[in-house]
Structure 1
Amino acid sequence: MHDAEALPVPTHEPAAGEDRARAAPGGPRGSRDPAAGEPLNGLGAVEDPVAALHAPLPADPHDALVAVRRRTRALVAGLTVEQLERQVSPLMSPLVWDLAHIAAYEDLWLVHRHGQRPLLHPELAAVYDAFETPRTVRGDIELLDVAAAWEYLAEVRSRVEQVVAERGVDPELHEMVLQHEMQHTETMLQAMRLGALAPWLDALPGDGDASATGVELLDLPGGSGLLGAPAGVFSYDNERPRHERALAAFRIARRPLTVALWRSFAAEADGDRRWWSDEGWAWRARRDGPAGPPPDARDADVACHLSWFEAQALAAWQGLRLPSEHEWEHAAASGVLDDVGRVWEWTATTFAGYPGFEAHPYREYSEVFFDRGYRVLRGGSFAAHPRVATTTFRNWDLPERQQIFAGVRLAGDAA
């Protein structure tokens, strides 16, 4: 996912006399010189990673916070220290950066903001801020090593328990923090797929209906419908306020398109200028070649790793288009879509605020990305927990991105 979960600058200063120069736990990456191939250990019992992806979570946000940490450990338990500390691509962070970022974010919101305590390691704030330290440089700077990152996570969690004992649970902040961790584990899984670090990922997102191609369309009537999250449930600021919008009749595919259809497009139409937008064609000229699903993906599998440009061109080749996010949400809420949650689904919509948008709890989550060319994705992926990927959840990314777990569900105007 995008790096939307930046650490805003704290407004509450550390207590007088706090040692700001305190050493980071365990020292910088490499200070312990672990064996490059040493398996990650000390985690205790872990679950099967595939089962952990969508395992049910407790309803209580504090209990869920504990369960999410077990999930994180399960997803990376098979990796070596070298794999966790290596940057597999400038597009992605070293996995150990994400682990320490999760700790820093939890400390900021549940200990510093909710508990009114100084940050555990203020000297690390800039290093683990997604805006201050962009992905391209995260492999070139000193980071906490693996042991230190896990220690940081454990120390922060101990502080959270102390705050909860004193002040209780803030349901909104706890939910935000646990969902933030799950968003980052999906980003970590993208890096693991790029670096071929986890063979168990190769079979995902898996197959859909072997008889379907992803172009079987459903007719939905027009009318007025609600868009956005209802009151009384956890949601992000970009999902609010819920509002009414007029919707023309449209058609939408029952399922996301399959690998078979993607391969037909790649073989027959990928190089045909007619199907591409000007911007997409220019991007294609810079592209190394069609990425799309892995070479060993089966024809019946749901197609994954499509850029927005490729999704748009494929839709045009079929005489169709991408759905708007309003169309997608209306169809999903109506219960007529199959295979939702296999891959993120590109929409035609540019990411922007809804009418009456108000940033909460900080503008860096959504507002700084509005109207800057990001496209909305809906539905979730095999790597996104259903607690995050609700019907109203809005993911977003740049149209050239191929490393994300994204495919497409085609749409069209009413016949």
Structure 2
Amino acid sequence: MTAPGPLDESALKELIAGELAAVRDRSLGLTTGALDEAELTAQVSPLMSPLVWDLAHVGNYEELWLLRAAAGIEPMRPEIDDLYDAFEHPRSERPTLPLLAPGEARAYIATVRSKVLDALDSVRFDPANPLTSGGFVYGMVVQHEHMHDETMLATHQLRTGAPALLDPPAAPPDGPVAAAAAGEVPIPAGPFEMGTSDDPWAYDNERPHHLVDLPAYYIDAEPVTNAAYIAFMEAGGYDDPSCWHPKGWEWRNASGKRAPAFWSRDGGGAWLRRRFGRVEPVPAAEPVQHVCWYEADAYARWAGKRLPTEAEWEKAARWDPVAGRSRRFPWGDAYEPGRANLGQVLHRPAAAGSFAAGASAYGVCRMLGDVWEWTSSDFHGYPGFRSFPYKEYSEVFFGPDHKVLRGGSWATHPLAVRGTFRNWDYPIRRQIFTGFRCARSAEGAA
């Protein structure tokens, strides 16, 4: 499922109950198994929460919105609200809080879920109430939990000194890899429809729909690969200040970074990467992953290009010039498995040329899945933006400190991404599953 669609209330409730169950199975799968209590309560990096915090947080968020706000039920555990408020306590200090132990956290979120399902029968999806209309608040909670599951995967990737826990398949599920689309795709000048006003589960920052008129440009047909990024490294890209944004050069000098996160060299000079506890050769044909915005920007400058704006990214992904309208996904309005590397199936980006059936109307490939793609844009609201249902989801992050990412990664659930979805982060972040593609301006591209 990727959106509720035109369902009657009974069918929508059945669908919501199924999605609540599916996302909880995913969350528990990331916090059980071989992990003991010490590993669940440990902080593997000051950038991340202990896994047990994420687990209890999704339950507390569910209680706040589906029991208290949607169903009008009295608080279950008001004394823990502060502990699991992401704006009250930064990640670096969460291990010092009196958090629920793993067993307590599982019991708490199970009780919340039981009450949510009991209350779902009596909740009305009133079109006049934007919180419940179309099941919005339920979609918000399911997407929120999927986002935290992706965050927990990033925490697993940061773990060191522990056995590997994830054992994904070695090959894509869609058969032989096609020949990779080469080079760039021209996008003609003209207006397109950006954002949405009618997607029932879209967030406030995706709204409202508006026209954006862009000059002609070119955009890469595929994300930048490891092989291409190694060429940048071997050409001295990390040592050439002319390639770097001034703040990026400061970051490079202060951090000492000279390669993507989790990369190292073997005795013969070949590049290796650590992926969920396993060390393996860097696959040349996969999109480069775990690079920050400054690294992506430096590569683009070295290549004589730039990062696309998020409007350029969205037009290339969504606009159908024949139909004269934007699609929900690059390939159409309905999600179809096998068209994108989403949903934690491979636990890695797929090789260039994979998922060719997911190309956009312009023929731009893999704009959903594989890696979150950095854009050049700062995170701001669209014209006519209205914060809903709370400012802390989007509005408090607006400004030049955060860069926009688009498209989702292999770890993103299909329900939690679409052509309008906007992610954002600081330009120094590398622990998330990020990559990029390049663009350049053009005169008269057709």
TM-score with structure 1 length normalisation?
0.82
Distance 2:428 2:168 in 1: 22
* Alignment-derived partner of residue 36 in structure 1: none
Distance 1:80 1:178 in 2: 24
Moved over 4 A (4+): 54-59, 196-199, 201-212
Distance 1:320 1:204 in 2: 33
Question: Could you list the per-position Cα deviations for residues 316-338 of structure 1 after superposition, in whole angstroms to 9, with x for gaps in the alignment?
Answer: 00000000111111111141221
* Alignment-derived partner of residue 242 in structure 1: 209
**CA displacement at 1:209 relative to structure 2:** 6.4
* Alignment-derived partner of residue 339 in structure 1: 366
Is residue 150 from structure 1 mapped to residue 106 from structure 2 by the alignment? yes
* Alignment-derived partner of residue 225 in structure 2: 258
Distance 1:168 1:65 in 2: 18
Distance 2:212 2:41 in 1: 47
* Alignment-derived partner of residue 23 in structure 1: none
* Alignment-derived partner of residue 190 in structure 1: 154
Q: CA RMSD in A?
A: 2.5
Question: Could you list the per-position Cα deviations for residues 181-211 of structure 1 after superposition, in whole angstroms to 9, with x for gaps in the alignment?
Answer: 0000111111110114645378899899696
User: In terms of mean alpha carbon deviation, does 169-178 or 73-82 score higher?
Assistant: 73-82
CA contact (8 A) 1:210 1:300 kept: no
Letter in 1 for 2:282: A
Distance 2:177 2:117 in 1: 46
- Describe the shift of the 1:372–1:249 C-alpha distance in structure 2 as closer, same or farther (beyond 3 A): closer
Q: Give the total of aligned pairs.
A: 361
Is residue 68 from structure 1 mapped to residue 23 from structure 2 by the alignment? yes
- Describe the shift of the 1:407–1:384 C-alpha distance in structure 2 as closer, same or farther (beyond 3 A): same
| SS of residue paired to 2:396 | helix
* Alignment-derived partner of residue 324 in structure 2: none
Distance 2:3 2:194 in 1: 27
Structure 1 unaligned regions, length at least 5? 1-53
| SS of residue paired to 1:262 | helix
- Describe the shift of the 1:124–1:344 C-alpha distance in structure 2 as closer, same or farther (beyond 3 A): same
**CA displacement at 1:141 relative to structure 2:** 2.2
Is residue 287 from structure 1 mapped to residue 314 from structure 2 by the alignment? no
Distance 1:201 1:285 in 2: 36
- Bigger fraction of residues in strand: 2
Tell me the percent identity.
Answer: 41
Letter in 1 for 2:215: A
CA contact (8 A) 2:191 2:214 kept: yes
Q: How does 1:133-212 map to 2 (within 5 A)?
A: 133-168=89-124, 170=132, 171-196=135-160, 198-200=164-166
* Alignment-derived partner of residue 435 in structure 2: 407
Counterpart pick for 1:371 among 399, 404, 419:
399
| SS of residue paired to 1:139 | helix
Counterpart pick for 1:87 among 43, 59, 69:
43
* Alignment-derived partner of residue 66 in structure 2: 110
| SS of residue paired to 2:193 | strand
- Describe the shift of the 1:87–1:210 C-alpha distance in structure 2 as closer, same or farther (beyond 3 A): farther
Distance 2:182 2:304 in 1: 10
**CA displacement at 1:122 relative to structure 2:** 0.6
* Alignment-derived partner of residue 323 in structure 1: 308
Distance 1:372 1:205 in 2: 39
Distance 2:177 2:242 in 1: 30
TM-score with structure 2 length normalisation?
0.76
* Alignment-derived partner of residue 334 in structure 2: none
**CA displacement at 1:117 relative to structure 2:** 1.5
Question: Could you list the per-position Cα deviations for residues 23-43 of structure 1 after superposition, in whole angstroms to 9, with x for gaps in the alignment?
Answer: xxxxxxxxxxxxxxxxxxxxx
Distance 1:77 1:205 in 2: 26
| SS of residue paired to 1:76 | coil
Counterpart pick for 1:391 among 415, 419, 444:
419
| SS of residue paired to 2:424 | strand
* Alignment-derived partner of residue 312 in structure 1: 297
Counterpart pick for 1:129 among 45, 67, 85:
85
**CA displacement at 1:289 relative to structure 2:** 1.7
Distance 1:155 1:229 in 2: 35
- Describe the shift of the 1:93–1:203 C-alpha distance in structure 2 as closer, same or farther (beyond 3 A): farther
| SS of residue paired to 1:251 | strand
* Alignment-derived partner of residue 329 in structure 2: none
* Alignment-derived partner of residue 218 in structure 1: 185
Counterpart pick for 1:275 among 230, 236, 243:
243
Distance 2:189 2:442 in 1: 9
Distance 1:232 1:123 in 2: 35
CA contact (8 A) 1:205 1:304 kept: no
Distance 1:325 1:137 in 2: 33
Question: Could you list the per-position Cα deviations for residues 50-87 of structure 1 after superposition, in whole angstroms to 9, with x for gaps in the alignment?
Answer: xxxx9999972232112211122233343412222110
Distance 1:56 1:167 in 2: 19
* Alignment-derived partner of residue 50 in structure 1: none
Letter in 2 for 1:285: N
CA contact (8 A) 1:209 1:300 kept: no
* Alignment-derived partner of residue 355 in structure 1: 383
Question: Could you list the per-position Cα deviations for residues 122-147 of structure 1 after superposition, in whole angstroms to 9, with x for gaps in the alignment?
Answer: 11011100010110101222211111
* Alignment-derived partner of residue 97 in structure 1: 53
| SS of residue paired to 1:166 | coil
Letter in 1 for 2:309: S
